[in-house]
Structure 1
């Protein structure tokens, strides 16, 4: 066991996850000697990553000292970009929002102007939070398109003209450094919005669920899959692209991707807005469609329920394949007749064995889901054992 938990980064992982929170527990779990545990902890304390807090009484009758990850020693910058609106924030490492801004930001304007504007927002947020730019340890971005996670580049996005293959991390690093003096090499991690919404919601409300699936229904349709507490992205970031699964008998519905019969061309908020407009109730977007729903439009209610059935037909296969404990519906059509349609078809089509322990719920974090997930993504990455050890090694003074 000692070899598996031999580094300071591994001790930090045990402390962060609550598996061992005292020196004696660390010795017991790792099999390391008291002196070795002490040396590793000295590294973590010197970096400012740990703090000691009073615990309960030890077996010897003396108060014990508990070890905690110090969530206040650095901050994360996070942003959630949708097609026409964005939200950005400064958060501590526990996900507490220190300053936040939201406003119109059109993804169609292209990557350079959008990311430069986001750099301006981050600069203002650091000032509003009273945070030294040197405290920024990483940046997390949520984007409404497929992302190659290792590079942070968007891959053939159907709703993001000009973004395909663009070096998003490089542009954000440059914009931040120019505007705030943040280290030009600060890590910038980028992922798809549904992935990060799923990660944020799972950690915040369903941390005990080992297989969690979130479906975002807004302008498009996408899913975030969280297995064992980690986002499942597939081989190159394509996992969860539900919107481009093709349905039978829908060959006339043309999708933004250029194909016909895609789920998004039939059941997304954009598609429903078009269908409602054709019935004489003008709606230009998923948000407009939701306005008609909330106003009690019978046509909007019927369309939403029918769209939910189409989505439920696809999700019956997803649930049978993944056997999740929680299926969460999020986005503009959550808490509407759409969810009723999903439930109706899903329980009809999926085997009882796949649904007997399934909870179908709606989003809990609201507009902050992807923002929360972006911050979690950065913290998980930077303080994972291998990354933590590499960062500690970089801090160590060179031998004389």
Structure 2
């Protein structure tokens, strides 16, 4: 049964306090009162409830000099567990974390997203179970599963919509796979009580990078791997667009490349020209051993001049697209991720040069352009943060406060 309007207002107030503590904006009772405008008595009542229900903990710092400093609040690490899942075209990384983002167990493995949803999600389910066993925690403690997939997603329903590279996934509702209870598919671990969130993989990477940095409110995270995609944070909020398609920059047309066909059905897309798969194919045609992005990186690191020339040209082509985005979005930062971002000296230098040459000075005056600080963990970091934000929302916190037996 849906909560009443009065109950929703109460939960919204509890949610606001918990979120302020979670992001470090107001780690003390006095700061919470100042940030929310609530009286100290009202803050104390709500904080005491969150502590009593196991969502917050309060620690007394060691006294320094005269007087006792105020106690600090933080999320209780045992309040709930989150399963953070980053699915790529050829790999996955999964972490089981506490509500405050501390990883308890984590593992990466190769997989083929084209094996289809049942097989891929079955492997995800199995790996989450193994990580829980490693962490020594029961599956009932997992209150949210947050999954990033390499394709367009209707985030409100977790439905994959016409993905270019995910064969067999079109129209598939990912949460329904986890909604079935233990035994329905012979599963050992029961995860059907957990809320399941699904988003595009680059979106969760962008949010992970933003949450880790927090030195600006407007960020573009550009993943350059097998394909090219972009996650957008605007005003501190992940921007998905009207239908969840925002940031699909890999299919922006590059002038002068109409002879290059893209798997989306159009021609001249920047992904088809400068993505990792396109680079590997070009190097293979040049007589080099290059089956995928890893081989492109290897050849450049070995100093192969053909590979280096191709990667630098790709950097300039990607830079042309990003220069237009800088003029449109005016971000504080562009963060480059994905496997090709390992070639930061070779790729980033040319991207940066084109952006600063093409975009107006006002748009680039405070712009930083750099590679990801989280690397391959950006996806699971973002998935965990999004799951925590969901669990601390008014409705989410209501379910946490009435946890099942």
**Residue in 1 aligned with 2:233?**
226
For the pair 1:325 / 2:341, whether they are aligned, the reply is no
Tell me how far apart the structure 2 counterparts of residues 175 and 301 of structure 1 sit (CA, whole Å): 51
Secondary structure, counterpart of 1:12 in structure 2: helix
For the pair 1:22 / 2:31, whether they are aligned, the reply is no
Tell me how far apart the structure 2 counterparts of residues 254 and 278 of structure 1 sit (CA, whole Å): 16
Tell me how far apart the structure 2 counterparts of residues 278 and 181 of structure 1 sit (CA, whole Å): 47
**1:86 aligns with one of 60, 81, 92:** 92
Deviation at 1:328, TM superposition (A): 1.0
For the pair 1:270 / 2:257, whether they are aligned, the reply is no
Matched-pair contact (CA < 8 Å) for 1:6–1:32:
no
For the pair 1:383 / 2:392, whether they are aligned, the reply is yes
Secondary structure, counterpart of 2:146 in structure 1: strand
**1:314 aligns with one of 321, 329, 337:** 321
Inter-CA distance 352–4: structure 2 relative to 1 (3 Å threshold):
farther
Matched-pair contact (CA < 8 Å) for 2:240–2:246:
yes
Tell me how far apart the structure 2 counterparts of residues 5 and 81 of structure 1 sit (CA, whole Å): 33
Matched-pair contact (CA < 8 Å) for 1:143–1:191:
yes
Matched-pair contact (CA < 8 Å) for 1:324–1:358:
yes
Tell me how far apart the structure 2 counterparts of residues 143 and 396 of structure 1 sit (CA, whole Å): 29
For the pair 1:285 / 2:292, whether they are aligned, the reply is yes
Matched-pair contact (CA < 8 Å) for 1:105–1:114:
yes
**2:200 aligns with one of 192, 206, 213:** 192
Tell me how far apart the structure 2 counterparts of residues 302 and 176 of structure 1 sit (CA, whole Å): 53
**2:148 aligns with one of 135, 138, 142:** 142
**Residue in 1 aligned with 2:6?**
none
**Residue in 1 aligned with 2:116?**
110
Tell me how far apart the structure 2 counterparts of residues 224 and 37 of structure 1 sit (CA, whole Å): 36
Deviation at 1:184, TM superposition (A): 1.5
**2:358 aligns with one of 349, 372, 379:** 349
Tell me how far apart the structure 2 counterparts of residues 382 and 6 of structure 1 sit (CA, whole Å): 12
For the pair 1:40 / 2:49, whether they are aligned, the reply is no
**Residue in 2 aligned with 1:340?**
349
Unaligned runs of 5+ in 2: 1-8
Inter-CA distance 175–388: structure 2 relative to 1 (3 Å threshold):
closer
Secondary structure, counterpart of 1:7 in structure 2: helix
**1:167 aligns with one of 170, 173, 184:** 173
Secondary structure, counterpart of 1:139 in structure 2: strand
RMSD: 2.5
Task: Output the TM-score relative to the length of structure 2.
Answer: 0.90
Inter-CA distance 27–312: structure 2 relative to 1 (3 Å threshold):
closer
